[in-house]
Amino acid sequence: MSGASMDAHSRQQAILAQLRASGRVLVADLADGLAVAPETIRRDLAAMDRRGVLRKIHGGAVPAPVLALPETGVTHREQLNTAAKQAIAQAALPRLGLSEGTVLLVDSGTTTGALARLLGGGPRLSVITNSVLIAAHLASLEGITVRILGGQVRGLTQAAVGSEALEALAALRVDVAIMGTNGVSALHGLSTPDPDEATVKRAMVRCARRVVALADATKIGQEHLVSFAAADEVDLLVTDAPPPPDLTAHLHDTGTEVLIA
């Protein structure tokens, strides 16, 4: 059945099926495939965008981002997806390029915390972190010099935020920043719900020679309030399942390597 003989609902269902199959649709391709005018497709995409079914982009559409869940405390998050987080940490560790004297900047978070627990027993390292929990663990390990960023500590995440942390980061140049994130999407990059944490995360990214982001599959496709890094600022994304096609294509275009644990 051609698009010209379909009603709007049937045509939009066909568009949605194509979007689910390919991860991205183009107005020109849809118009040709459904034998309707490009303007008809644009109206369909606009209507679907308003309903939250997809997101319009220039020349086409991509899937709507997954609705982000409310932020939860670190104690609760430590119990979630533990196998995935451990697998991500194990996969990321050999890709950090650790050698004697490497300086790491470790973001707060449960997946970054899983990686931090693997750091002992290797070359001597310097680790800087804004996480009270990560600093406390690393301080007991031989061969690791730990520095913790100052500032106000958020009870929900046990992370230091505010002007003191930002001033310290402004003076730093580290080898690798290991970043956690609440969401990863093509349009919004890496994001987090709290503006204060986002500001610190952004400063972390900017003071690193190399940025490694860790995100389990539940974070992929989510968007939270504040973006702290675009995809092209991330050198390596380590996750536990392949991202959807639209995000995979975007990461490829920006030169971000994706490692599946």
Rounded-to-integer distance, Cα 64 and Cα 210, Å: 30
Q: How confident is the model at residue 68 (pLDDT cuts 50, 70, 90)?
A: low
pLDDT tens for 163-187 read 999 999 999 999 999 999 999 999 8
Chain centre to alpha carbon of residue 254: 14
Least confident window among 63-67, 161-165, 235-239: 63-67
In 101-240, DSSP assigns E strands to 102-106, 125-129, 144-148, 152-154, 159-161, 174-180, 183-185, 189-192, 208-214, 226-229, 236-239
What is the residue type of 61? Answer: A
Domains of the chain plus CATH, in order, are 3-63 (1.10.10.10), 74-260 (3.40.50.1360)
pLDDT at residue 225, as a whole number? 87
Q: How confident is the model at residue 7 (pLDDT cuts 50, 70, 90)?
A: confident
pLDDT tens for 15-59 read 988 887 777 899 999 999 999 999 999 999 999 888 777 888 888
- Whether 228 shows a pLDDT value over 60: the answer reads yes
pLDDT tens for 77-100 read 565 678 899 999 999 999 999 999
pLDDT at residue 139, as a whole number? 94
Q: Which residues face 163 on adjacent strands?
A: none
pLDDT at residue 71, as a whole number? 58
Residues in the chain: 261
pLDDT at residue 70, as a whole number? 57
- Whether 75 shows a pLDDT value over 70: the answer reads no
- Whether 115 shows a pLDDT value over 90: the answer reads yes
CB 203 within 8 A of CB 177: no
